[in-house]
């Protein structure tokens, strides 16, 4: 069997050494030493100079971002993303207004954003799809013109840079995921990035119920903390992330070399800064996709329709305007297996089945 992904696991002894520290201290959560160490080391690796807050998952990161920015009314967003992008907007009592995507990059189309802005619009929440950067300059210009906040769902972006800068530098807030399926993971986890000191202060209180000491509260909050056990996995994995990124790039480029002239593949915005996190292919029709997926499944090669369905078709989406490109891409996309232990022989097998 070839799964679509597998989590990277560090050598047991490296992880166990960190867990021994946790047992010795008997400090499991509430901003323990390993959480603080991880919060120090990740920005260094990413060459990120802003404020970084580690939380318990990427969805909580989005919800805290929306709450911290005090967003209300309408939030313009993409229909081509994981469901958490839209559900976080709805969960916070805001209305998701969907704007169609660019066909080649699969990111929100900035040229279509202004037409969706109304007096009720408070922000733009865009996803860097598959780790491929949005047109951040165009989005920033629109946001400035209309006094809107910008959140980037950068769940796929660990290690991604754009024009030499960490992709997390952009927007009022960027969020990411450290879920087990990601390039870098802490089993479960996520984070918020912001260059705004006051906003970072607010986020850090919000992720811990608003606590200011044991008996005072700075403001409203939620339980967004993460544990020493999760941080231990992150610290152990961080030692290997450079090699993980290097291997992932080689696997990704192999797929492109073998498949690029036969199938429609993702167009990269900044290849030099891309993290090569996912390899999606696009079929001409949904029928072609389903037929090929059946062949792959029969050969125990498990790919994923990621992202499907288009989020503007969700049963709780308030506005269901046609997003023609997103809906077509969602029906015809298949992401291929890509993970650290994927062998060259299995990649060759996947390619042969796709081209047969």
C-alpha triplet 261, 267, 272: angle, nearest 5°:
110
pLDDT (0 to 100) of residue 320:
63
Enter the DSSP assignment of 114: G
pLDDT, tens only, 311-355:
999 988 776 678 999 999 999 999 999 999 999 999 999 999 999
pLDDT (0 to 100) of residue 209:
83
Could you give the percent of the chain with pLDDT greater than 90?
Answer: 93
Q: Can 12-238 and 241-355 be said to share one CATH topology?
A: no
The overall average pLDDT reported for the chain is 96
Could you give the percent of the chain with pLDDT greater than 70?
Answer: 98
Interatomic CA distance for residues 52 and 150, integer angstroms = 17
| pLDDT tier at 211, thresholds 50, 70, 90 | confident
Q: Is the pLDDT of residue 186 over 70?
A: yes
C-alpha triplet 87, 150, 128: angle, nearest 5°:
70
Interatomic CA distance for residues 171 and 133, integer angstroms = 12
Burial class (CB within 10 angstroms; exposed 0-12, middle 13-18, buried 19+) of 128? buried
| pLDDT tier at 133, thresholds 50, 70, 90 | very high
Classified as helix, coil or strand, 115 is helix
DSSP H or E stretch at residue 334: strand 333-335
Q: Is the pLDDT of residue 83 over 70?
A: yes
Enter the DSSP assignment of 65: H
107 phi/psi in degrees, rounded to 5: -90, 165
pLDDT (0 to 100) of residue 356:
87
Q: Is the pLDDT of residue 213 over 80?
A: no
Residue 348, Cβ neighbours under 10 Å: how many?
12
Interatomic CA distance for residues 267 and 269, integer angstroms = 7
Instruction: Identify the weakest region by mean pLDDT among 51-60, 77-86, 172-181, 260-269.
Output: 260-269
Question: Stretch 13-30: mean pLDDT, rounded?
Answer: 97
Domain ranges, ordered by start, for the chain: 12-238, 241-355
Interatomic CA distance for residues 290 and 1, integer angstroms = 19
8 Å CB contact between 51 and 57? no
Six-digit token string for 304? 């994923």
The hierarchical CATH code for the domain 241-355 is 3.90.1150.10
Enter the DSSP assignment of 256: H
Q: Give the CA diameter of the chain.
A: 66
Q: Where are the beta strands (DSSP E) in the chain?
A: 51-55, 74-77, 95-98, 121-127, 149-153, 161-162, 165-166, 173-177, 190-194, 264-265, 280-282, 333-335
Classified as helix, coil or strand, 33 is helix
Q: Is the pLDDT of residue 218 over 90?
A: no
Q: Is the pLDDT of residue 89 over 80?
A: yes
Q: Give the predicted TM-score (pTM) of the model.
A: 0.96
The hierarchical CATH code for the domain 12-238 is 3.40.640.10
Q: Is the pLDDT of residue 275 over 90?
A: yes
């Amino acid at each position: 069997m070839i799964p679509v992904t597998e989590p990277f696991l560090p050598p047991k002894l490296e992880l166990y050494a960190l867990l021994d520290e946790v047992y010795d201290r008997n400090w499991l959560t509430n901003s323990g030493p390993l959480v603080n160490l991880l919060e120090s080391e990740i920005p260094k690796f990413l060459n990120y100079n802003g404020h970084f807050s580690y939380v318990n998952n990427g969805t909580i990161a989005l919800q805290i971002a929306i709450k911290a920015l005090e967003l209300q009314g309408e939030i313009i967003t993409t229909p081509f993303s994981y469901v958490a992008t839209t559900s976080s907007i709805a969960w916070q009592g805001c209305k998701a207004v969907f704007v169609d995507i660019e066909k080649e990059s699969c990111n929100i189309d900035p040229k279509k954003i202004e037409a969706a802005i109304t007096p009720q619009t408070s922000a733009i929440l865009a996803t860097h799809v598959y780790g491929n950067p949005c047109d951040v300059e165009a989005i920033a210009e629109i946001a400035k013109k209309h006094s809107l906040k910008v959140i980037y769902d950068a769940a796929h972006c660990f290690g991604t840079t754009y024009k030499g800068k960490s992709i997390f530098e952009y927007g009022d807030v960027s969020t990411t995921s450290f879920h087990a399926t990601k390039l870098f993971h802490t089993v479960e986890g996520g984070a918020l990035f912001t260059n705004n000191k006051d906003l970072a202060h607010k986020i850090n209180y919000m992720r811990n119920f608003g606590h200011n000491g044991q008996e005072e509260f700075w403001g409203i909050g939620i339980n967004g903390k993460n544990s020493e056990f999760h941080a231990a996995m992150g610290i152990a994995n961080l030692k290997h992330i450079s090699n993980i990124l290097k291997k992932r790039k080689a696997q990704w480029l192999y797929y492109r070399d073998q498949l690029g002239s036969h199938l429609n593949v993702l167009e990269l915005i900044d290849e030099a800064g891309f993290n090569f996190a996912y390899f999606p292919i696009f079929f001409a029709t949904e029928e072609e996709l389903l037929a090929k997926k059946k062949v792959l499944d029969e050969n125990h090669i498990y790919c994923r329709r990621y992202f499907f369905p288009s989020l503007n078709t969700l049963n709780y989406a308030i506005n269901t305007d046609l997003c023609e490109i997103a809906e077509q891409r969602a029906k015809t996309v298949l992401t291929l297996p890509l993970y650290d232990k994927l062998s060259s022989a299995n990649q060759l097998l996947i390619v042969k089945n796709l081209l047969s």
